[in-house]
Structure 1
């Protein structure tokens, strides 16, 4: 079948051709489109996507942590090692506290940040340690997920107070001043 163009070969879609067509469209676009602050719009879009992702993670994290913790404790109960659960849990909480304090000492800007990126990074890292829990050797299956749960619980607790602190400090300055004088 012929494509309708008798003498032309179909052009290949390659990067140079794509750039040429993009430049052609940009050159033929009206001036208001060219003057639009595209970089700022792109930055706002990325910020919106990140905020949505953080909101989804924030609301899904607690139920997933609860269900997986119950599952891991039921495995420990099945193995008759439930008495060992508090030890790695407490050690994980202590390690999370040390990691949080270290992050705040290393980067003082984190104290004023709206989003606790250090806590989010810590939660992602220890979630990745926790996920392969059933595939660890015997003692690893019993101890590592509970250690990670301790870190995650402490990070979740710290994140709760972090958002509570930022909500209190980002309010109306007149209200904050009137609360301080009373």
Structure 2
């Protein structure tokens, strides 16, 4: 009996081969996934940075507040701020008063000289009269439109009205430069009359403030002695 040697065929592994287009797509997908992962990591890092900075700022603020002495913590800063603001307003109001009075004195003298040099002396009394009447009329109009509140703020409201009227007549004097000589002289003295009528009570208030300050200083010196 003849033995036939049967040869078994062993399968040979075939190497996996990709086309160039498939390789390019795989590289593209891997680069896309890598970009997404990096962007997510950067977003999480950036979102964590503000929280970390806030925590650090809060810690520093707490340490600084703990290092501040107790008298500084207990000091009434809001009251001091309000007091400083009131003092600055009072100082600005005084500066405005004195500047208006000084402007009235020097400008009225120069306006009289200008009127005499241009032979317009008759305009001086007429302009002053019109200015005084306009000042009284504007004051009454302001009292009707913006009535003065009775009480502690009554004097301040009246003084504010007088200062606003004075600023209006200062503007009239500046606007007079746009007119001819005759109209200019008339408007200059209208402004002088309005300033005189409005600043007269203000000057009385300044004198009263001076007298009250002198009385308070004298009483304080007597108490000290």
TM-score (norm 1): 0.65
Structure 2 CA distance for partners of 1:35 and 1:92, relative to 1, 3 Å:
same
- Structure 1's 63 and 161: CA in aligned 2 closer, same or farther, altered over 3 A? closer
In 1, Cα distance between the equivalents of 2:204 and 2:59?
53
Q: 1:98 aligns with which of 117, 130, 137?
A: 137
Name the stretch that deviates more: 142-151 or 60-69: 60-69
Q: Does 1:137 align with 2:180?
A: yes
Aligned partner of 2:147 in structure 1 is 107
TM superposition shift of 1:111: 7.5
Matched residue, 1:48: 87
Instruction: Tell me, in whole angstroms, the C-alpha distance in 2 between the residues paired with 1:25 and 1:95.
Output: 63
| Residues 166, 63 of structure 1: alpha-carbon distance in 2 compared, 3 angstrom cutoff | closer
User: Helix, strand or coil for the counterpart of 1:108?
Assistant: coil
* Structure 1 residues without counterparts, runs of 5 or longer: 1-21, 172-182
1:16-55 matches, within 5 Å, as 28-29=64-65, 30=68, 33=72, 35-55=74-94
The root-mean-square deviation of aligned C-alpha atoms, in Å, is 3.4
Aligned to 1:87: 126
Determine the structure 2 residue equivalent to 1:11.
none
How far is 1:25 from its partner?
Answer: 8.0
Aligned to 2:218: none
Q: Which residue in the other structure is 2:110 paired with? A: 71
Aligned-pair CA distance for 1:32: 5.1
Answer yes or no: is the 8 Å Cα contact 1:92–1:149 preserved in 2: yes
2:187 and 2:77 map into 1 onto residues whose CA distance is 47
Q: Which has the larger radius of gyration?
A: 2
100-109 or 121-130: which moved more?
100-109
**In structure 1, C-alpha distance between the alignment counterparts of 2:112 and 2:82, rounded to whole Å:** 44
Equivalent-residue separation in structure 2 for 1:118 and 1:166 (angstroms): 18
Judged with a 3 Å threshold, the aligned counterparts in structure 2 of structure 1 residues 127 and 25 are, in CA distance, closer, same or farther, namely: farther
Q: Distance in 1 between matches of 2:142 and 2:119?
A: 38
- TM-score w.r.t. length of structure 2: 0.54
Report the CA distance shift for 1:136/1:104 in structure 2 as closer, same or farther (over 3 A): same
Query: Which deviates more from structure 2 when the two are superposed, residues 50-59 or residues 74-83?
Result: 50-59
Quote the Cα distance in structure 1 between the aligned partners of 2:163 and 2:60.
41
Q: Which residue of 1 aligns with 2:165?
A: 122
Distance 2:200 2:120 in 1: 27
